[in-house]
Structure formats: structure tokens, C-alpha cells
Structure 1
Amino acid sequence: MSSPSRIGTTVAFALSALVVLELGTGVSAAIAAGWTLSEAIDAFVVTNAAIGLSCGVAGVLIAWQRPRNPVGWLLLAAAVSQSGTVAGAPPLDLAVQHGASEPMLRTLATLSGYAWPWSIATFLPLALLLFPDGGLTGRFRRSAAALAVLNGPLFAVHVAGDGVAGDPVQPWLVIPAITTVGTAVEILNLLVYVLAVIGLVVRYRRGDEQRRRQLLWLVLALVLVVVVIVPWGLFDAGPILQLLAIALVPASIAVAVLRHQLLDIRLVLSRTVLYVVLTALVAATYLGLVTLANRVLAGSLPGNAVLAALVVAIAFHPVRVRLQRLVDRALYGDRSDPVRALSGMGERLRAGDPGDGIGPVLAAVCDALRLPSAAVVRDGIERARHGSPDGAVESVPLVYRGEEVGALVVGVRSGQRALDRTDRAALDVLAAPLAVAVRATELSASLQRSRERIVAAREEERRRLRRDLHDGLGPVLTGISFQADAAGNLLASDPARAAELLTALRAAATEAIQDVRRLVHDLRPPALDELGLVGALRQHADQLGAGAPAVDVLAPDELPPLPAAAEVAAYRIGAEALTNAVRHAGAGHVTLTIAVGDELELDVRDDGGSEGGWTPGVGLTSMTERAAELGGSVRLTAGSDGGRVVARLPLGSVVPADAVAEVTRTRETVA
């Protein structure tokens, strides 16, 4: 353990020891003064001791385990403050009984009166504002914290500084005029707590799954405190011991910070809120119906109470179901309403950035079902994730058109061992659109990779063209320029030499033209623009040389305009297939059939024999690659009865005639 940690631990245990000392002093003095339990309760000693002890235990645990979290230190300060009143009140009475000096009496009265207001007005509100991680971000929370710090001395002076009417022993600081602003101080104290609660609500709405579970522990304690304390504070109903409920707040803070995953807090809180609200509704409805019946029937009849009980009994179940649905939606999300969850997923998809993939959809799943995490796994590899699991995980298959495209792996809520049937049913519904989103994301990624390959291929082709122009055509043109200058200089003085230079210049120009034609042919065969696909293939067949087998090119009288990429690929594949059949198959007859429908199909057949099949080479590989680049396919078969090449190329949208004309004009300009 580092030195700062040891110092923090020492201070934390020292403060907790001080709390124990204060409580021990107060209890011992109360016993020595002859107090009864009832007197100790009426003097708020019992309640202050319980609250101080709860704050002390929670504070020392947090400060020990999380020394950098100021929440633990604030709870320790609240414990010292709250227990200070316990250490002051009974000793004050004991000192009065034994005739102690006035300075001692006034000191004990000051300790008794001024100690506890600080915990209520400053330390506990600050702990709520900094809960659970000790951060104080945002102008709202910082302003509320400043009010809590200001509220401490004002509230202490308001509570203790006015003195106690008729009490012969007064604190050192007595300000009678403080009663004129007492209402404003009470309102400020209430405002601080309202702001702290609002801050908790905001953090719950903006927090992740872990933060929400931590906040729910505190919410549970606050619900119980409100249920117990509000009737006592507003109507002065019930015993003082109801204040013991405040001790639940520091206890819940300690559990939330240190062991928030102890159990399913949502289940506990949902049932608590449900039955608290139901109890209040039942009581209010019953009393209201009895009162109304007594007034309407002008008498207090036993039958009125029976009638009211009957109405309450009839309405109890539908009201409970409705309330349970509202509470479950607040804590478990839309697991009982998958349609609402699907709507949320759709909104995330519409509002999200396409580059985000399925991350927003997974976030929608977690938000809809209040799950700690969700991930898509395929082939054992995690493709996307939102959140992080705290414990067990469960998997739901993602199926798209009968094919499993992955699995949705979700984290089980803290405190649960497994998802229940309602969760599983909701996930089964959400899995269908999620599978579509996963498939769409994969297709989008595949498309992006294809685009990247196309761009890479284009740049490589540009690099090759630049190299050919620079290393081949460039020097030839430069030489032509020099030879032209030299011939011009020699025309008058040496005509014979000038003629020789012009002859060489002619040869160099011819070479340059051949280089240009070669480059142009590599880009796109000129025959395609001059003769069309069918005519270009027939021309290629005629150029195969004497002794070649007869080649028939069967095609429709007129082909529709074809995409340039498909037309070039079809020519290259057809020419390669014809060349292979003539040179390697030993065929006597070759037939090339062209058909155009939804796709362009080339079928090249020869009657040559090939018992062992074809050996894959550069030509066969290039045919397959050219078709694959367009999303098409090439099927190669060879046997004793001949060989066959069938290429299918998707056409996509039909190329407009004006686009073809523009390509032709560009082609002619370059040539």
C-alpha cells in the first residue's frame, strides 16, 4: 500500500474512532444522568446516535476501500457532526445536575446544538451531489454544492443560534434576530435537497447500466425515507423513531459504491415502489369512499365500510397490473413491449451515422431492456459491442433468411443469474431486425472493401500508364523533337544528312504511334468501339491464323447498350477462350454463343479432347478474376468430348446510348 493510502486509511479509522468515542460518551453520560429510554428518544439522542453510527460505518468502509472518493469522507464528517450532538446533550444534563461551571455548560450546549445541523444541511447533501464516483461535473451540480456549503452555517445558526426558550443554559453564539430569516433558511435547506434529487435523476437518465444500478440503491433508501419521514414532518404523526429511516441513506450509499451488484436492485425497488403506492392508494380510496358514502347516505352505516372494501377489492387487481407495468417499464425498459423496443431501434438506425455500424442498435437494445451490455459475435470474433458485462452472459442466435449470421450476446443484470422468460421473449423479437442490421452492415463493409480494391486497382493502372508513357513514349517523343531540330539545321548545309534524319524521325514517329495504340488497346480494345462486341470477337477469330479450326460466333442481330466494364470483360474472356481452344485443345470446330438477358452470357465450346482436364494457367486465372471483379462467374469444363467455358456477367443498369457515344468520341480523340 502506498504512503498516501496508508495516511488516508489512518485518518479514516481515526475519524471512525472519534465517532465511537462520541457515541460512547453520550451513552455513558445518559446512563449516569439517569435517563430512561423514553427520555433519550424524546431528546433525539437515539435517532442521532443511529444516524451517526450508520454514517460512520458507511464512511469508513468507503474511505478505506475508495480513499479517492470524497463521498466516504463526507459521510465520516456527517458521522462526527451527528454524533457530536449525542456527545453534548446527555453530558450537558449530567453537568447541570452536578453544578458544573457556566463555561463548561455553555460549551456543552454549543456542541449539542451546533453539531448535528452541519450533517443535515451540508455533509449529506454534498454526499448526494457527489454520489457515486465523487465527480462534480456540470454547472448545475457545482451550483448546488455551493448552496450546500453556504447552507451549513446558516442552518446551524438558525437551529441552534436562537437558543432554547426557557432553557437556562444557552450556547456561546445566540442570535435572537435569526428568527426573522428562519423561513428563508428552511426553504434554502429544502432547495438544496431538491437540487440534489434532481441531480440524481439527471445522472440516472444519462448514466450507463452500472451507474443506474448504483443510483437505484440510493433511490430505494430515499423512497423508504420519504414514506416514513414525510407524514412525521408534515402532520407531526408517528413517533420520533421514524427518523431512524434516515440511517438507511448512508447504508445504501455504501452498498452502491462498494457492492452494487449484490442483488437485483431493480426487482427489490420495483416491488417496494409498487406496494408502497398500492398501500397508499388503497388507504386513500377506502377512506375517501367511506367518507363519501357517509355523507351521501347521511349516516355512518357499517354497510358503507363493506361497500368501500368491496370497491377497493374489485379495483385492486387491474390497478396493481397497471402500476406493475409502469414500474417495470421504468426499471426494466420495454421488455414487456417489444414493439416499443423495435421502434427505438429504428429511431437509432435513422438517426445514427452509417459509419457507426450496429453500435447504435446494440445501445438501443441495452437501453430498451436495461441490460449492462450487448455484443454481436460471429465465428468466435466479436464484431461490435456496447457496454460491458458484470457477470453472466446469455446468447441469442441471429438468423437471416435461414442463415445464422452471428449471435447476440447480452450481459445479465447484476444480481440475476439468468434472464427470465420475458427478457428472452423480447430478445427473440429484437433478434430478427438485428440480424438484418448485421447482414446489412456486413454487406456495407464488403462493398467498402470492394470500392477500396477498385480504387487501388485504378491507381495501380494509372501508375502503369504513367510508367509506360514516361519510360517508353516520352523518350521517343523527345528523340523526335531533337531529330526534327537537327534536320532543320541541316536542310541548307547538308541535305543528304537531313534526309537521313527525317527518315529516322519517321521511324521514331511510327514507333511512337505503335506505343500509343498499344496503350489505348490495353485501356480498351479499339475494335469494341469500331465493330461492337460481336464484331470484335469475330475479328479476333479471323486473326487466329491459317490452319485454325472453324469458329462460329452466334449472337443476336443487335445487342443492347452494354456497360463498358462488362463489354471489356466479355471481350477479354471470349478472346482468351477462343485462343485457348485454337492453340491448346486441338479442336476442329469452336462455337461462341452470346446471349443477353438479366446478365451477359458467353458460352465457348470446342470439340477437342482433354482427358486430364485443363491445367490452370495465367489465361484461365485471368478469365476467372475478370468475371469476379464484376460479381460474375466463369465455369470451366473439359473432357474427352471437348471443352467448355461459360461466363456470366451481371449487367446492372443499362448504359444510355448517349453515354456510349460519349465514350466513343473520347476514344477517337485519344487515338
Structure 2
Amino acid sequence: MRTSVNRRGLAGALAGLVVAEVTFAVVYALSAGWGWTELVDGFVVTNGLMGLTFGLCGAVIAWHRPANPIGWLFLADGIGHATTPFADALANLVHSELAQQILVTVSLAAWPWSIGLFLPLALLLFPDGRLLSPRWRWAAIGIIATSPLFVLEMSGSGESVSPALPRGLLTLRDFDALQPLWTATEVRNLVAILVALVCLAIRYRRADETGRRQLLWLLLASVIAVLFITPWAFVAGTPILVLLAIPLIPIAVAVAIVRYQLLDIRLVVSRALTWALLSLVAIGSYAALVALLDSLIASQVGRSAAVTVFVALIIAPVLPRLQQLVDRALYGDRHDPARVASRVGEQLSAGLPGVVAAIRSALRLPYAALVVDDRVIADGSVASSVVQLELSYGGEVVGTLVVGLRSGESGLSSADRSVLGLVAVPLAVAVHATRLSAELQSSREKLVSAREEERRRLRRDLHDGLGPTLTGVAFSADAAANLITTDTSRAVELLARLRADTRSAIADVRRLVDDLRPPALDELGLLGALQQRADQMSIRADGTAIRVVVSASGLPTLPAALEVAAYRIATEALTNVVRHARATSAVLTLRCENQLEIKITDDGPPTAPWQPGVGLQAMQERAAELGGTFEAGPTPTGGQVQAHFPLPTHTAPSADLSLEVR
């Protein structure tokens, strides 16, 4: 903690040094009567502003990120730029020639370190202060080792900005003879910047969403700086003030490291790239048209007017196209909803994960996720701010689409919402279809499981019950046949046992058949079977009577599976009434209109909510197997069990029937 405080104090002190040096230089220049031209030509304006921006931005970075060396490199860069005008101003105030020579040397040698060492090294370490990999260590060593060459080139001539000052102490006699070395030094500076830019490009390709946003800030500053500085390097007479674009680089770096979410940098970069490309097109068009029309139009005024008109005609249709290309690179296809819908549609066959990835990629979003029930399908890194969009199908919410906001965005733009609204329709259909498929698969698994359990039960009953009985019958028959002539009394006993075993086997067969389908349904029909069962339940085990009413309305001929389900649910519900409800009467109602409704009510005293047991669960499963619904629980007037089943379209209703069993 104390180390962090000490570093922040040092950063503040160095920033104060930069401000003091620039202030001293400006105050001296104004007191000496320098005008704006002298301030610009003496590099007081450019070096002073670059010193302040690099120094103050470096102090901000060092204050918030003391462990990041970029802040300290920028502070050193700012001191280098600020020391040049400070030393020049101080040299004009002293009278000792030796002191003036020392200050001139310091002035000439201070700022080259900023350009040759501190700036490229900071770019090489951007944004986290670490090299991209150990292999890049040699690039950093090369930049550090060769940086004195540029300092020697700038101070070797010994010529001060002010003609009234003497030459510096590092003046080389054979300076002009070393021109090949100085040319190599200029090439070295270019290579150092290019190496740093290549490193930044590799970082951008490997970076996550946060890293790319940080790099875009530097890209924006670099585009603007190059746009201004390129004419100064190649077009004679360009004002030196274009160098004031360089301070945008430390400002962008400071924002990228400390506050990269300040605003939507992608929007800013989009506009900057568009105008940069447009400017290049305008400059190229102007140069080409000047060369072409120079031989055709003699008048200077006419030539300039013609060129302006032609350039305007060329630029007018170019700007929208350039903006479209840049926006697609930064925001994807959000301005082309049909293209996004097409890309999402192509991924529907690949499953929901492919659809989510296609949405995020098409809109260049940092994060996208689909929440279906308790399942989350995500793509990208989780964003700090997200927006949730409900997916509806048939009036029912089937899922939620979660998208992360881009840096600097407080909400989704109208273009994004328009695209997502278009995509939400097929996505909701896909989610609904996926849920139906999962439910169908689950139902199939339950049916297969139930079938196998029923087979296992039948096998066990046949093997453990009917099998041994029939085996005993066979043995008894053989023994009786062998003893019928020699021991008649023993044969008669065996035949009696054979008769009892045969009856037991028949009872087992009837029990198995009854478990497969109640015989009363085939003998009496559904209503008759329910009447019979209600008659059997009209007397409790303790001898008390219960009044049961069975009524039906518009009951058609039902499929066998639906008959069994209705019979099982009704009999199980009536059994629960007799055993647990303490009721004096119960009503079983079957009604058919658009669906089959089974309702069992009793007048038992109100109770607490029912706890699901084996009987309730079995009734619910029977309803679900046929696509029906099931509800059960207490009411203010007693208990109630209710089930609804969809009916086949070809069923025809029969006459109403009402039965009462006491």
C-alpha cells in the first residue's frame, strides 16, 4: 500500500515538473515579445503541447495503474518534449557561453528520446504493460539499444533553434559525412514504429472483446494522426501545427487503459475511418483531375472550380458506400436484417448453439445467450451490461435471448432491436420445436420404461406364480396316471390336488388378464364398469355407508386406451374418497364436449393441501400419457379430482345417462 502511494506521489511530482517546464518556456517567450509565428517556428507550441499531453496522460495512467510501465514511459516522453523549450528559454537567460552550450545540448538531445525510445516502447507494451510473448523481448532490446543513434543525429549538428545561441557540445565535425548513418537511423525509427504496429495488430487478433475496445482507441488516434501528419511529410508548405495531432495518441492510450468504456468507441472509429478513406479519395481525385485538366483548362480559376465540382460529384456517392463498409466491419449486418435472418436460418439445422453464435457474430456483439428453462446456451465472454428479450410462441414465453451491450452503450439501438425482433420469431419457433422434441423424447423414454416394467412384472408373475403351479399340475397328472391301477385312493388324492392347482392357475391367469385391461370394461362398458365399482365402494370397511352418484353427459364411444385411463383415474379417486375423505357422498361426472372431462367431488371436511402420493402420481401420469391434464386438491366444500383428455375428431356423442348408487 505504501509503495502504491509513493508511486502516485512520484507520478504527481513528475507531472508537476512537466507543467513547470512548459510554463517557464511560454512565460519567457511571451515576455520576450515572441508572436505566434515565433512560438510555432521555435517549436514552443508543438513541443509544449506534446510535453503536457504525454506527461499528464502518463501521470493519469501511473496514478491509476502504478504497475503499468506505459504511464512512466509517457511521463518520460513528456519530460523529454517539455525539456526542449525549457532549455532553449533558459539558455537565452544565462550569459555564460559554456552554460548556453550545455543547455543547447540538452535542448537538442531531450526530445529525440521521446520519439526514438519512449513512444515505440510504450506502443510495444500496450495495453497491459507486458510484451506479447518472450519472442518480442528482442524487439524491445533492439529499440532500446539503437535509440541513442537518433539522439546523436538530432544533437550532432549542434544547431540551436535560436540563431543567437552557440552550438551544442556534441557537435560532430564530420556530421555531413555520416549521412548514410543518419539515413539508417531514420529507417530505424520507421522500423521501430512498424514493429510496434505489427505487435498491436497481432494483439487485436488475439484479444478478447475488452482488449479490442482498448486497441480501437489507439486505432482512432493513429488514424487521425496519420491523416494530419502525412501531408506534412510529403506536401511542401504544410503547416507545422499538424504535429498537434500527435497528442491524440497519449490521450487515447490513457482513456483505453483507465476508462475504455467512456463511450461507444466503435461508432467513433466508424466515422473516423469513413472520413479518413473519404479524404484519401478526395486527395487522389484532386491530384488526378489537376493533372488531367491542366492541359485542357488554361484559367487558374476555371481549373480550380472545375476540379472542385468533379471532386464533389465523385465524393457524393462514395460516402454512403464507405460508411456501409466500415459499419459492417464494426457492427456486423445490423443494417441488413434480411442478411442476419438468413445467417440465423442457415444455423437452425445445426441446433441452438449455432444460432446463438450466428446472432453474436452477425451483430458483432460481445455476448449472446439463450435461456430455455434451466438451460443456458451462451457464446462470447459475459458482458458487464446485458439486455434480455423474451421469446414468445403462441402467447407463451418459451425462452429468453440475452445480448451483451457494446462498450459505451447504455441500451440497444433501434437498428439492433429491429434485427433482433426479426430474428426472435424463427428463434422462438426453433426453441418451441426443441422443447417439443425434448418432451417427445422424454415421453418415448417413459413409454419404453413403462412397457419394460410391465413386461418384467408379467414375466415375474408367470415365472413365480403360474409357472410353478402348472409344473405341479403336470407332475400330479403323471403321478395319478401311474397310480390309478395300483393305488386308487392315492390317485384320487392326487386328482383332488390337481383340481385345486388347476383352479389356482386359472385364478392367476384371470388376475393377469384383469391387470392388462379390466374385464368389466368389455362386459359392461365404461359407465357400467364405473357403476359396478361404485356399488362395491358404497360400504366402507367399518360398515358405514357412502352415497355415490355416477353421471355422464354426451359420452361417445371412446378409444380403448382412453377408457382404461378414465376407469383407472375414476376408481382410484373413489378409492381415496372411501379411505381418506370421511365424506358422506361423492359425485363422479363424465362430460364430453370438445374434450372428455372426468370430475370426482366429495363433501368431506376441508383439509390441508394434499401431499402427492403414489395414487395421485399414477393418476397424473395416466393423464399425461394421453396428452391430458390433471388437477387434485381440497376445496371449501370438500375434495376434488379433475382430469381432461383431448378427444379424437371421429367420436360421436351418445345419450346422457345419470346413475345413482347408494
Residues 191 and 343 (structure 1), Cα distance of their counterparts in 2 relative to 1, 3 Å cut: farther
Residue of structure 1 in register with 2:142 after alignment: 150
Structure 1 position 336, deviation (Å) = 0.6
Relative to structure 1, is the Cα distance of residues 170 and 406 closer, same or farther in structure 2, using a 3 angstrom cutoff? Answer: same
Which sections of structure 2, spanning at least 5 residues, go unmatched? 160-166, 469-493, 495-500, 538-547, 572-584, 590-599, 603-612, 633-640, 649-662
1:50 aligned onto 2:26 = no
- 1:427 and 2:423 correspond: no
C-alpha distance in 2 between matches for 1:636 and 1:13: 74
Q: Tell me by how many angstroms 1:227 deviates.
A: 1.0
Distance 1:603 1:143 in 2: 77
Q: CA deviation at 1:372?
A: 4.9
Q: Does 1:258 align with 2:254?
A: no
CA distance in 2 between partners of 1:15 and 1:645 (Å):
82
The answer as to 2:129 corresponding to 1:134 is yes
Q: 1:636 touches 1:646 (CA, 8 Å); kept in 2?
A: no
Tell me if structure 2 keeps the 8 A contact 1:379–1:406.
yes
1:122 correspondence with 2:114: no
- Residues of 1 paired with 2:373 and 2:620: CA distance? 28
Give the distance between the partners of 2:309 and 2:109, measured in 1 at CA. Answer: 53
Structure-2 separation of matches of 1:446 and 1:419: 34
* Structure 1 CA distance for aligned equivalents of residues 286 and 24 of structure 2: 49
Residue 289 of structure 1 deviates from its aligned partner by 2.5
| Distance in 1 of aligned mates of 2:414 and 2:225 | 33
**What is aligned with 1:105?**
101
Contact 2:390-2:401 within 8 A present in 1 as well: yes
The answer (yes or no) to whether the contact 1:395–1:408 under 8 Å persists in 2 is yes
Quote the Cα distance in structure 1 between the aligned partners of 2:531 and 2:121: 86
User: For 1:166 and 1:389, how far apart are their aligned partners in 2?
Assistant: 56
Counterpart contact for 2:383–2:404, Cα < 8 Å: yes
5 Å-filtered alignment, 1:569-648, equals: 583-584=536-537, 595=559, 602=563, 611-612=587-588, 614=600, 621-626=617-622, 628=624, 630=625, 632-633=627-628
Match of 2:359 among 351, 356, 365: 365
TM-score (structure 2 length as normaliser): 0.65
Q: Distance in 2 between matches of 1:646 and 1:27?
A: 91
- Show the counterpart of 1:160: 152
Question: Are the equivalent residues in 1 in contact too, given 2:629–2:645 (CA < 8 A)?
Answer: yes
Aligned position for 2:220 = 220
State the aligned residue count: 546
1:558-577 aligned at under 5 Å gives the runs none
Q: Secondary structure of 1:154's match?
A: helix
In 2 relative to 1, CA 446–620 (structure 1 residues): closer, same or farther, beyond 3 Å?
Answer: closer
Distance in 1 between residues matched to 2:643 and 2:264, nearest whole Å: 66
In 2: Cα distance, 1:280 partner to 1:29 partner: 41
Tell me how far apart the structure 1 counterparts of residues 247 and 14 of structure 2 sit (CA, whole Å).
18
For 1:431, give the aligned amino acid.
Answer: A
Give yes or no for contact 1:161–1:171 (8 Å, CA) kept in 2.
no
Contact 2:112 2:150 in 1 (8 A): no
SS in 1 for 2:334: coil
Q: Name the structure 2 match of 1:481.
A: none
Q: Distance in 2 between matches of 1:128 and 1:526?
A: 86
State the AA in 2 paired with 1:158.
F
Question: Per the alignment, in what secondary structure is the counterpart of residue 83 of structure 1?
Answer: helix
Counterpart secondary structure, 1:323:
helix
Residue pair 2:297, 2:303 contacting (<8 A) in 1 also: no
Residue deviations 1:103-161, cap 9 Å, x none? x835x455334332332233222322333343434x3xx54564244223413323425
How much does 1:395 deviate?
5.2
Retained in 2: the 8 A contact 1:19–1:80? Answer: yes
Displacement of 1:577: 8.3
> Percent same amino acid among aligned pairs?
40
Taking structure 1 as the reference length, what is the TM-score of the superposition? 0.64
The 8 Å contact of residues 274 and 323 in structure 1, kept in 2 or not, is answered as yes
Structure 1 residues 84 and 441 mapped into 2: Cα distance closer, same or farther (>3 Å)? farther
Number of the residue aligned with 2:11: 12
CA deviations over 1:415-474 (Å, ceiling 9, x no partner) = 455544323222222222332344355457667877998999999x79x99xx99xx99x
SS at match of 2:246: helix
Residues 50 and 246, structure 2, Cα contact 8 Å, conserved in 1: yes
Q: Distance in 2 between matches of 1:92 and 1:152?
A: 29
1:241 aligned partner: 241
Q: Distance in 1 between matches of 2:171 and 2:304?
A: 57
The letter for the 2-side match of 1:85 is T
Q: Check the 8 A contact 1:593/1:603 in 2, yes or no.
A: no
- Alpha-carbon distance in structure 1 between the residues aligned to 2:28 and 2:588: 109
| Distance (whole Å) between structure 2 residues aligned to residue 23 and residue 120 of structure 1 | 18
Other structure's SS at 1:398 match: strand
CA distance in 2, matches of 1:366, 1:276: 28
Which AA in structure 2 matches 1:6? V
- Determine the C-alpha separation between the residues in 1 that align with 2:448 and 2:5: 61
The amino acid of 1:14's aligned partner reads A
Q: Flag the 1:110–1:213 CA change in 2: closer, same or farther, 3 A.
A: same
**Amino acid across the alignment from 1:312:** V
d(CA) in 1 for partners of 2:322 and 2:251?
Answer: 28
Alpha carbons of 1:202 and 1:43: their partners in 2 closer, same or farther (altered >3 Å)? same
Residue 400 of structure 1 corresponds to which residue in structure 2? 393
SS in 2 for 1:399: strand
Taking a change above 3 Å as real, the CA distance of residues 321 and 425 of structure 1, as seen in their structure-2 partners, is same
**What is the alpha-carbon distance in structure 2 between the residues aligned to residue 604 and residue 21 of structure 1?**
93
Contact 1:62–1:257 (8 Å) recurs in 2: yes
CA distance in 1, matches of 2:534, 2:348: 53
- Write the letter of the residue equivalent to 2:120: P
Distance in 2 (CA, whole Å) between partners of 1:129 and 1:454 is 65
Letter in 1 for 2:149: V
Displacement after TM superposition at 1:243 (Å): 1.4
Using the TM superposition, give the Cα deviation of residue 92 of structure 1 relative to its aligned residue in structure 2, in angstroms.
4.6
Structure 2: how far apart are the matches of 1:634 and 1:271?
59
**How far did 1:5 drift?**
2.0
Residue of structure 1 in register with 2:318 after alignment: 319
Residue 122 of structure 1 contacts residue 151 of structure 1 at CA under 8 Å; is this kept in 2? yes
Supply the distance in 2 between the matched residues of 1:339 and 1:433 (Cα, whole angstroms): 13
Name 1:565's counterpart in structure 2.
none
- CA–CA distance in structure 2, aligned partners of residues 283 and 318 of structure 1: 16
Relative to structure 2, which stretch is displaced further, 80-89 or 427-436? 80-89
1:252-304 per-residue CA deviation (whole Å, 9 max, x = no partner) reads 22222333333333333333332343334234324423431343x47558655
Task: Give structure 1 stretches of 5+ with no counterpart.
Answer: 478-502, 504-509, 529-535, 554-573, 638-642, 651-671
Q: Which amino acid aligns with 1:434?
A: L
Matching residue of 1:488: none
Q: Provide closer, same or farther for how the CA distance between residues 315 and 29 of structure 1 changes in structure 2, counting only shifts above 3 A.
A: closer
Change (3 A) 1:305 1:133: same
Between the aligned partners of 1:30 and 1:334, the Cα distance in structure 2 is: 55
SS at match of 1:115: helix
Separation in 2, partners of 1:23, 1:457: 88
Following TM superposition, by how much is the alpha carbon of 1:318 offset from its aligned partner in structure 2, in angstroms? 1.8
What does the per-residue CA deviation read over 1:558-601, in whole Å, with 9 as the maximum and x for residues that have no partner?
xxxxxxxxxxxxxxxx9x989957854899xxx997859xxx65
